[in-house]
Amino acid sequence: MLGVTQASVSIYLSSDREKAYGSLSRLSLSRRAADRATAQLADALQVGPEEGVRVLGAIWMGMLGTGAACAAHREMYPSLADCRYCLEEYGSLAGDVTGAVAEVSGAVKLLENSPEFPAIMPEVSVNIACASGDAVGPAGVVAVPGRIVKVHDRARAMLPPEPGASVHMSRVLILARNARKGFRAVINLRYDRKMAAVVKRQGLKAVTIVEHSGRTGEDPTAEAFERLLKVAPRHFDVLIDEGGSGIEPNLYVFAGGAREAARTAISLARAYSAA
């Protein structure tokens, strides 16, 4: 996937990892942040080389926007002592990510406090994702690492939300945003006959994946959604994935923000429980 020889891969694997961490620390990248960025990039490369380039670009822009590279750059070029270009050019991206983290955190609290919500949690668990700014890859989309799971009949997030936590939800959201710019968030829910009736009663406009033929990558739902958008109506509120071999049916609800997506999910849960 990296486009290098096996000999190069062997050199990478036998190299001193501490030296690599040390180099990245000069860019104010902690071990945890370095591991997270590496995982994001690895997941993206499994989707395809273009996705890998997008994620790598988003990671770099995020670092530049926070000033993480400034000290190392000024050490190399002392004449840049008063330079603020990256902070001004990319700083808004870092701010957008912070806002998206807060948005998803608030949405998670709404879901965790809802007694009805667990009734519509699928077996694959739930995630909720929110795009920051003009996100074009997972690094610009905030989600919940490890997903939101059911614990003692309540929804519980495994970890605090962070950028790049779900390549799958990022892809689905970005594809939806390409069709409708107002979408900034998505949440996945259980889908069955009962939910189909609830969606219809709520007046939500849906596009539906009925098959996953022509699977070529690691994300058949996103692949099918991309094909569907070429022929489907551009006005929709939800995506229905009817599932298939090894794919659980899911309902993806889109919204202008993570809290709005959570509130819609809770409304659907109440209607589902009452049906």
**Same domain for 137 and 260?**
yes
If asked whether residues 255 and 222 sit together in one domain, one would say yes
Do 180 and 64 have their domain in common? no
In a domain, 179, yes or no: yes
> In angstroms, rounded to a whole number, what is the distance separating the alpha carbons of residues 127 and 111?
11
pTM of the model: 0.72
**Terminal-residue alpha carbon distance, the chain:** 49
Number of domains the chain contains: 2
Residue 26 lies in a domain: yes
CA distance 163 to 40: 9
Residue 1 resides in a domain: no
- Tokens representing 201 are 């009663």
CATH code, domain with 130: 3.40.225.10
Measured in degrees and rounded to the nearest 5, phi and psi for residue 70 equal: -60, -45
Strand 185-190 relative to strand 250-255, pairing: antiparallel
CA distances from 105 to 231, 262, 265 (A): 35, 11, 15
Does some domain include residue 149? yes
User: Can you tell me the distance from the alpha carbon of 266 to that of 111, in angstroms, rounded to the nearest whole number?
Assistant: 7
Quote the tokens at residue 181. 């710019």
Same domain, 78 and 109: no
Amino acid at 108: V
210 vs 57: which has the higher pLDDT: 210
Identify whether residues 50 and 169 lie together within a single domain.
no
Q: Is 150 exposed, middle or buried (0-12, 13-18, 19+ CB in 10 A)?
A: middle
Alpha-helical regions (H) of 113-190: 167-179
Contact (Cβ atoms closer than 8 angstroms) between residue 211 and residue 244: yes
Q: What is the pLDDT of residues 124-173, one digit of tens each?
A: 999 999 998 878 778 789 999 999 999 999 999 988 888 888 989 999 99
DSSP 64-85: HHTTTTHHHHHHH-GGGTT--H
Range(s) of the domain holding residue 270: 97-274
pLDDT score recorded for residue 236: 95
Both 207 and 157 in one domain: the answer is yes
Answer yes or no: do 195 and 231 share one domain.
yes
Last residue within a domain, chosen from 38, 58, 91? 91
167 by Cβ neighbours in 10 Å (0-12 / 13-18 / 19+) ranks as buried
Angle at alpha carbon of residue 70, lines to 64 and 73, rounded to 5°: 110
Q: Among 63, 91, 119, which residue terminates a domain?
A: 91
Q: Are residue 14 and residue 109 in the same domain, yes or no?
A: no
Q: Does residue 74 share a domain with residue 193?
A: no
Shared domain check, 104 and 83: no
Residues 138 and 263 in one domain: yes
Rounded distance between C-alpha atoms, residue 38 and residue 247, angstroms: 27
* 22-42 pLDDT per residue, tens: 888 888 878 888 888 888 788
Note the pLDDT of residue 49: 81
Percent of the chain with pLDDT over 90: 51
Same domain, residue pair 66 and 32: yes
Q: Examine the fold and report which residue of 91, 109, 133 is the final residue of a domain before the chain moves on.
A: 91
Q: Give the separation between CA 85 and CA 73, rounded to whole angstroms.
A: 12
